[in-house]
Structure 1
Amino acid sequence: MATDEKLKMFQFVVVGGGIAGVTCTEQLLSRFPSAGVALVTAAPQIKTVENFKQVSKTLEEFDVAECPSSVLEEKYPNLTVIQSAAIALHTHDHILQTSGGLEVRYEKLCICSGGRPKLLTKDNPFVLGIRDTDSAQEFQKRLSEAKRIVVVGNGGIALELVFEVRGCEVIWAVKDKAIGNAFFDAGAAQFLIPSLAADRPEGAATCKRARYTTEEARPGPSHTTYTADRRESAPGPAEPGSALGPDWHEGIALRGAEEGVSVSVEYQCEVDKICTREELETPVSEIESWPVYIQLTNGKTVGCDFIVSATGVVPNTEPFLRGNNFVLAHDGGLRVDDHMRTSQADVYAAGDVCTACWEHSPLWQQMRLWTQARQMGWHAGNCMAAHVLSEPIELDFCFELFAHITRFFNYKVVLLGKFNGQGLGLDQELLVRCTKGHEYIKVVLSGGRMVGAVLVGETDLEETFENLILNQMDLTPYKDELLNPNIDIEDYFD
């Protein structure tokens, strides 16, 4: 047992300084202005939500500000920030141990430890995962000397990377039939593909989403500006820092050693082997010798200066949660109910580390985005407060309809409901309107009712379509006019 100096006691303890953790913490602090609240985070910076805007009933936009944890402590006198990695949890004793030797006793605990990257391979100097601000800087440095890179992955970071890199040949390996498979369909992908070959003047794109500033702990400039779109930080001194998403490139020059822009996509393939020239099983008839080669499952072998691993994340439940018999979901996340409770008494979870295992609304799905991290953190804080005060609480309305705003290839992208027909099988009908270089609109109907939509470009249809999805109005009589560009659909259903 720890000495008195090493034992700290709090009513509420939150693990993780990302959006979910900080949002949960602030919600608890607003409900309990005199209770002891502790935020345990390994990183010196935390993420806070700024400039929050409720665009519609379910759509929201906000900036993500990364700042020293002391800013939060100054704002809330009853908050204690413990800058130390969580290394062990003893749920029976309600004690959390940190790498700094502290034992933190809690009444209620919320785990918001985020996700950790799924790298293609570990400890290979030619494989770089872009996860946090440090790795983004390392990527910028290595790219400046590169003539060719291979990008593996089809998520948000990969989408932004291939669009922003200049002066370097990019070979993009995706396992799907189309780019951006998690965010939009093949039609939207085809709409966006020409943007990869188009001239893109540097600095032309305006970042309209999350932006944050990190304070350097090492000698050098006092501030470096980056952007963020979704996840939260993973704990532990050797773990990656706060994760990046679309717009992560803002503020750093992504330029290689050559001139021009060249992106080629290898579809429906994965990595078979990564090796040096000497390790190749068959001779390579390339003129140039490359530092590393990647063999793809489509039979192609490609040489390059380095490989970018952008293959997503997994819930960060290791290692401090071991030995507690938490019930995990199929994706490795902590199972939580509609009150954000895990399988262990007085332990809650929010954000990327958990999996929503309640009976979902037919129009909602979990996608581990910044917006969902904030929503889960806010709901978890409310639930913890309600349970302490013995108040009833219901699932927040934000979980009624999936709604997300982002940007890809400098186009505004709005995703609503079952935007890719998730789980509908053959029981769906698609309506599409596409104007090359301007907009792509797809509506998903099921049983004559709108259940999802993809809006690419400045369509101004998001609020109208959101209402139609929520109202579940039978649109069978209006299908022919629904996407008619000559009809003001907003007035039509006013």
Structure 2
Amino acid sequence: MATDEKLKMFQFVVVGGGIAGVTCTEQLLSRFPSAGVALVTAAPQIKTVENFKQVSKTLEEFDVAECPSSVLEEKYPNLTVIQSAAIALHTHDHILQTSGGLEVRYEKLCICSGGRPKLLTKDNPFVLGIRDTDSAQEFQKRLSEAKRIVVVGNGGIALELVFEVRGCEVIWAVKDKAIGNAFFDAGAAQFLIPSLAADRPEGAATCKRARYTTEEARPGPSHTTYTAGDRRESAPGPAEPGSALGPDWHEGIALRGAEEGVSVSVEYQCEVDKICTREELETPVSEIESWPVYIQLTNGKTVGCDFIVSATGVVPNTEPFLRGNNFVLAHDGGLRVDDHMRTSQADVYAAGDVCTACWEHSPLWQQMRLWTQARQMGWHAGNCMAAHVLSEPIELDFCFELFAHITRFFNYKVVLLGKFNGQGLGLDQELLVRCTKGHEYIKVVLSGGRMVGAVLVGETDLEETFENLILNQMDLTPYKDELLNPNIDIEDYFD
């Protein structure tokens, strides 16, 4: 048992300094201005929401600010930030142990430990995972001397990386039939593909978002911000102290290789079969130059390059500190949570990438582990914890009624609504598409004559109208021919 100096007691404890954890913490602090609240985070910096804007009923935009944890402590006198990694949890005793030797006793605990990166292989000097600021800067350094790289992955970081890299040949290996498979359909992918070959002068893209910077904690509220978008949150811990990356993580970093021009080629429907040196190749390759590393793909191609970027996503960070507590896990390894964000263990909640929403979902919502959902889950978890302590009734927040997300890819605004890729609909769907090359791509998903999803690429100004049509579930059968007619103002049409 810990000594008095090593034992801390709080009514509420939150693990994780990302958006989910900080949002949950702030919600608890607003509901309980005098209760003891602790935020346990391994990183010196935390992430907070700024400039929050409710665009429509379910669509939201906000900036993510990275700042020293002291900023939060100064704002909330009853908050204690414990800068230390969580190493063990004893749910039976309501005690959390940290790497600093503390035993933290709680009444209610919320786990917001994010996700940890899935690298293609560990301890290979030619394989680089981009997950935080430090690794992004290492990527910049190595890219400056590279003539060719291979990018493996089809998520948000991969999409932005291949668009931003200049002066280096990029071979992009994706396992799907189209790029950005998680975010949009093959039609939208084809709309965006020409952007990879287009002349992109440096600094030409409009960008309202700045990348994170990891620095030693310093006095004052200095921080950088960027608008919320797609991300995979890295696990906090002694070995991985860096801040998780989000959209426009490349802003402020010169992603230039050793050559001139822009060259991106995509290898579709393939995965990595083997990574090896030239000496380890089973069959000779007709390469004019000798490359430091070779990657063999499942489509039979072997490609030599200077290094490989692993951008293959994350898995929920439930190891190692949650071991031995018999948490019920979902199929994807996340902590199962109900509609009150409760795990299978008493008084333990979870939010963000570490958990899996296992309640009966709205037919129009799905979990995608994005910045917006991290904020929504953290906010709802804090509300649920407060309601349970105060014995108040609480219902699932309205944001879980409809999946809604705004981001940017290839310098286009992208809005995703509902079952935007026809998720789970099978053959029971009808697609309406309007595409103007270089300007906009609009896809509507209908099921039974009712709109259930939409993809909007470009400045379409249709998101609020389509959101209302999806939520209202109006029968659009009589209007299908006019729904995407560019000569009709749809907003007035359904006013």
TM-score, normalised via structure 2 length: 0.97
What is the SS of the residue equivalent to 1:412? strand
Deviations 1:251-308 (A, max 9, x none): 1110000000000000000000000000000011101000000000000000000000
- 1:246: Cα distance to partner? 2.5
- 1:217: Cα distance to partner? 6.7
Deviations 1:144-175 (A, max 9, x none): 00000000000000000000000000000000
CA distance 1:409–1:58, shift in 2 (3 Å): same
Paired residues of 1:116 and 1:315 also in contact (CA < 8 A): yes
What is the SS of the residue equivalent to 1:208? coil
Deviations 1:356-386 (A, max 9, x none): 0000000000000000000000000000000
- 1:218: Cα distance to partner? 12
CA distance 1:226–1:480, shift in 2 (3 Å): closer
Distance 2:44 2:370 in 1: 23
Distance 2:430 2:391 in 1: 46
- 1:239: Cα distance to partner? 2.8
Paired residues of 1:216 and 1:222 also in contact (CA < 8 A): no
- 1:328: Cα distance to partner? 0.1
Distance 1:352 1:49 in 2: 17
CA distance 1:260–1:227, shift in 2 (3 Å): farther
Distance 1:363 1:225 in 2: 31
Paired residues of 2:63 and 2:227 also in contact (CA < 8 A): no
Distance 1:240 1:426 in 2: 46
What is the SS of the residue equivalent to 1:419? coil
Distance 1:200 1:220 in 2: 38
CA distance 1:400–1:440, shift in 2 (3 Å): same
- 1:214: Cα distance to partner? 3.5
Paired residues of 2:65 and 2:224 also in contact (CA < 8 A): no
What is the SS of the residue equivalent to 2:381? helix
Distance 2:140 2:220 in 1: 17
CA distance 1:222–1:31, shift in 2 (3 Å): closer
Q: Percent identity?
A: 100
- 1:213: Cα distance to partner? 4.5
Q: Which moved more, 1:22-31 or 1:238-247?
A: 238-247
Q: Structure 1 stretches of 5 or more lacking a match?
A: none
CA distance 1:220–1:468, shift in 2 (3 Å): closer
Distance 2:474 2:79 in 1: 47
- 1:231: Cα distance to partner? 4.0
CA distance 1:9–1:217, shift in 2 (3 Å): closer
- 1:203: Cα distance to partner? 1.0
Distance 1:127 1:2 in 2: 42
Paired residues of 1:67 and 1:213 also in contact (CA < 8 A): no
What is the SS of the residue equivalent to 2:214? strand
CA distance 1:485–1:158, shift in 2 (3 Å): same
Paired residues of 1:430 and 1:445 also in contact (CA < 8 A): yes
- 1:209: Cα distance to partner? 4.7
CA distance 1:53–1:222, shift in 2 (3 Å): closer
What is the SS of the residue equivalent to 1:206? coil
Distance 1:464 1:236 in 2: 44
What is the SS of the residue equivalent to 1:5? helix
What is the SS of the residue equivalent to 2:212? strand
Paired residues of 2:212 and 2:245 also in contact (CA < 8 A): no
CA distance 1:271–1:444, shift in 2 (3 Å): same
- 1:230: Cα distance to partner? 3.1
- 1:234: Cα distance to partner? 1.3
- 1:224: Cα distance to partner? 7.9
Paired residues of 1:119 and 1:310 also in contact (CA < 8 A): yes
CA distance 1:338–1:227, shift in 2 (3 Å): closer
CA distance 1:221–1:102, shift in 2 (3 Å): closer
Two-structure CA RMSD over aligned residues (Å)? 1.9
TM superposition outliers: structure 1 runs of 4+ over 4 Å: 209-213, 216-229
CA distance 1:225–1:291, shift in 2 (3 Å): farther
Paired residues of 1:64 and 1:210 also in contact (CA < 8 A): no
- 1:486: Cα distance to partner? 0.2
- 1:235: Cα distance to partner? 2.5
Deviations 1:67-92 (A, max 9, x none): 00000000000000000000000000
Q: Name the residue aligned to 1:410.
A: 411
What is the SS of the residue equivalent to 2:318? coil
Paired residues of 2:117 and 2:315 also in contact (CA < 8 A): yes
Paired residues of 1:18 and 1:231 also in contact (CA < 8 A): no
Distance 1:71 1:223 in 2: 10
What is the SS of the residue equivalent to 1:214? coil
Paired residues of 2:191 and 2:438 also in contact (CA < 8 A): yes
Distance 1:209 1:330 in 2: 34
CA distance 1:221–1:338, shift in 2 (3 Å): closer
Paired residues of 1:168 and 1:256 also in contact (CA < 8 A): yes
The alignment covers a number of residue pairs equal to 494
- 1:232: Cα distance to partner? 3.6
Deviations 1:32-84 (A, max 9, x none): 00000000000000000000000000000000000000000000000000000
Q: Name the residue aligned to 1:420.
A: 421
What is the SS of the residue equivalent to 1:48? strand
Q: Name the residue aligned to 2:394.
A: 393
1:492 equivalent in alignment to 2:487: no
Paired residues of 2:407 and 2:413 also in contact (CA < 8 A): yes
CA distance 1:7–1:160, shift in 2 (3 Å): same
Paired residues of 1:20 and 1:112 also in contact (CA < 8 A): yes
CA distance 1:146–1:264, shift in 2 (3 Å): same
CA distance 1:141–1:165, shift in 2 (3 Å): same
- 1:204: Cα distance to partner? 1.2
Distance 2:292 2:224 in 1: 31
Paired residues of 1:128 and 1:308 also in contact (CA < 8 A): yes
Q: Name the residue aligned to 1:176.
A: 176
Paired residues of 1:37 and 1:80 also in contact (CA < 8 A): yes
- 1:463: Cα distance to partner? 0.2
Distance 1:436 1:16 in 2: 43
CA distance 1:379–1:210, shift in 2 (3 Å): farther
- 1:208: Cα distance to partner? 3.2
Paired residues of 1:227 and 1:250 also in contact (CA < 8 A): no
CA distance 1:80–1:240, shift in 2 (3 Å): closer
Q: Structure 2 stretches of 5 or more lacking a match?
A: none
Deviations 1:161-214 (A, max 9, x none): 000000000000000000000000000000000000000011111223575444
Paired residues of 1:7 and 1:105 also in contact (CA < 8 A): yes
CA distance 1:226–1:145, shift in 2 (3 Å): farther
Q: Which moved more, 1:245-254 or 1:29-38?
A: 245-254
CA distance 1:233–1:119, shift in 2 (3 Å): closer
Paired residues of 1:211 and 1:227 also in contact (CA < 8 A): no
- 1:244: Cα distance to partner? 1.3
Distance 2:186 2:149 in 1: 25
Q: Which moved more, 1:277-286 or 1:329-338?
A: 277-286
Distance 2:24 2:207 in 1: 27
CA distance 1:162–1:80, shift in 2 (3 Å): same
Deviations 1:441-465 (A, max 9, x none): 0000000000000000000000000
- 1:238: Cα distance to partner? 1.0
Q: Name the residue aligned to 2:83.
A: 83
Q: Which moved more, 1:329-338 or 1:204-213?
A: 204-213
